Amino acid sequence: MKILITGIHGFVGSNLVQALKSNHIIYGLDIVTHQKEGVVKIYSWEELNSTSFSQIDAIIHLAGKAHDTKNQSSSQLYFNINTRLTQKIFDFFLQSSAKKFIFFSSVKAAADSVIGEMLTEEVIPTPVGPYGESKMKAEEYIQQHLPKDKQVYILRPCMIHGPGNKGNLNLLYSVVKKGIPWPLGDFENCRSFTSIDNLCYVVEGLLTKDIPSGIYHMGDDESISTNELIEIMCEVMGKKSRIWKVNKGMMEGCAGLGTLLHLPLNTERLRKLTENYVVSNTKIKKALGIERMPVRAIDGLKKTFKSFQKE
């Protein structure tokens, strides 16, 4: 297949190129146009409508504004990139020869917090904040303009990780590496993660199999608690984990005080660190005709943490 990937220089884009380049012809679209091994040519966004993409079979839209955990980005920036850029590339897809479109949305477009045991595709979306809201606006535009003769997939992955990833897992890893104790051991939570290897496997399946159009959540089969996450990190580092089970009530009181005094640990951050966020991957597995994802959650995380060691 001839595949056009937007945001090809990013973490997910780079991994997709490695996974797809042996069996497919890949073109790229990005704000940075220097060439990449395994890619025929990378175009700028300005060249999108002036370039003749000969017989593209599929478009994978990755380009977007990532969630800024420091909240330093303006709200409008999210909508300019996550919503309007998606509208632009989707309009191009509708006029192109491509028969498949994969949009990388986010579980945050569906829900900021999970009510009940797990997040499924049937949830009524209630995004909170400009990141999730801008992704949902993009989803709505796509669904309002669905073509009858093409296949369109909205993929909502939860936290993606793997070699080359920069994000919250890196921050937690650096804290654990310094030997700083984890004081929230008294909180038991479960969270879903997405191994980049499982994600690439799913994308390959969407490209090559006859999968019905629709919204698909993406995550590994097993959910992991933060305590387990730290233990896996320490196992990879060859260190003993330092998890302190400080009384929940005491930590909640400290977080409340942190909110009043504008300290790093506040009520909202404590909630984010200790809440459950389990995502169902049943629908995508059923569509692909598989019982399990190829990579276990623990194995994917170990691979990620080993890559942090090398860095």
Please check the confidence at residue 69 and state whether its pLDDT lies above 70.
Answer: no
Angle at 164 between CA 73 and CA 35, to 5 degrees: 90
**pLDDT score, position 280:** 96
Q: Is the distance from CB of 4 to CB of 20 less than 8 angstroms?
A: no
pLDDT tier at 72, thresholds 50, 70, 90: low
Q: Coil, strand, or helix at residue 205?
A: helix
Distances (CA, A) of 31 to 27, 44, 45, 121: 14, 6, 7, 32
Residues 6+ apart with CB under 8 A from 48: 29, 88, 89, 92
Average pLDDT of the chain is 91
Q: Is the distance from CB of 80 to CB of 25 less than 8 angstroms?
A: no
Write down the residue that tokens 């220089």 correspond to. 9
60: exposed, middle or buried (Cβ count in 10 Å: 0-12, 13-18, 19+): buried
**pLDDT score, position 73:** 64
Write down the residue that tokens 């019982």 correspond to. 291
**pLDDT score, position 100:** 97
Percent of the chain with pLDDT over 70: 96
Please check the confidence at residue 170 and state whether its pLDDT lies above 60.
Answer: yes
Domains of the chain as residue ranges with CATH: 2-162+195-220+279-295 (3.40.50.720)
**pLDDT score, position 50:** 73
224 CB-side CA count, 13 A: 24
pTM of the prediction? 0.91
